[in-house]
Structure 1
């Protein structure tokens, strides 16, 4: 799926990601990496890193792709429109407000109240567009056609992959020793597509998906993007109808061939463990990658240096009282 100079079919290169990182740097946080040992979680001792992208503006990694789209493309007077389970919409709303653009966000009825509140707080027009992400996407496309607004796709847009790929660049810059393996949660694939484009086989990138929403798993089995179930506890962030075509091309070239599937119970366990041991309040989609490690879906080799991307924290799971 690559040509002679390493360019991926999706058209996303390391050079493009590096240029995007320089462009969006004034607008995004350089999120921290914390180190621990897997034995802290009752696992076999090995070096373990957490990239805390839940601390990004708008509460998830999505701000990177949102700013990349708004800064790399020509935004019309009608503004921008996006469909989202919640995190992408919050990111587009945040980035649009910061850059002085208008935004309309379509979300499905399953979106969490925490994410809906964020979108409204950032000043975007919010529309409930059906029961699932696919319904909201169709409604957003109709809006774009009628108004001339620019669509910012949550995952199947080159600029989105370029933005998300800056996480890989940042991680590589901020760790003193090379990471052997990076665990990444997958929904539509923009995140893993961008990150895997950056590493391009130099680091093993492992995809983790909910059993109830196995978009990449189903696509790899079929040899092409196909419709997959879209349910489970992380449905508002990891359950589009199918994997994006751009991310699928990248995954075939640069993602480990075996996708790790995790149950809703495993995701809940990962959320609880992150909070109990590290005081990290991750949403279900943000904890999914760690669930693969915590429950044995992915077992590191002795001495393997593993990093886990905690990609989102838009949750009401933690209540603070005086």
Structure 2
């Protein structure tokens, strides 16, 4: 039986795998160690989850991490978007263990010191694309169009500006496409992508949330091997599957309203790991699972291996 037929017969299941975090984000599956890494931005913590053992560990940083991506060639080093800096840190993955500073790649948005890095991911060649967002005076009160999107390789290059909240990234090499989300646009961008140079061009929008009757904001996301996007919808409690042509294919309910990001992982890359938040909840509001991390099985699709950062 083909794996797709086998998986289609599996029941869809959404399972909580960690307790609540204030703002869980940036999930990255490291195939080398069969573990999920992610961050909790406002708690200033980086996390590791091992599905085989169920072990969940974390440690605290000196600032707010927007994402974490392992470094290729080192099992204990990670590129982290920390406040407005891209830095390499060393962490052994143990609960509460000390983090060692390895090197600073560079600093961005020097003219907007209240900005912070919000999300980032490695492209198929191991370059990092990471973006920023403007000052958040209070939960939900964002400075408009103050952020940028950057490419991090030998240098740091701004590739897009006037960004509200920099978020989801995904690449489809067969389509020579890069997908990108500025959450405040309530839309999904598609760029033509040159994998040899890392250059993007010919931006167009492919999926408009209001026009598709969707409440909430597109957040982080990923792509499956069929070329369909999986997008976390903040303030809607779902992850959606969208075709490259911009057709809404599926909505997967998640038992937390503020869904922040997702990535495929597991031994067969057929588990969708989903991070969430309770950051926007007012005192006394919300559900017990708000901010928890989940794994979704039985979707009938697979993802690509997450790429690690390559110097």
Q: Same fold (TM over 0.5)?
A: no
More helix by share: 1
Give the TM-score of the pair, scaled to structure 2.
0.30
More strand by share: 2
Give the TM-score of the pair, scaled to structure 1.
0.29
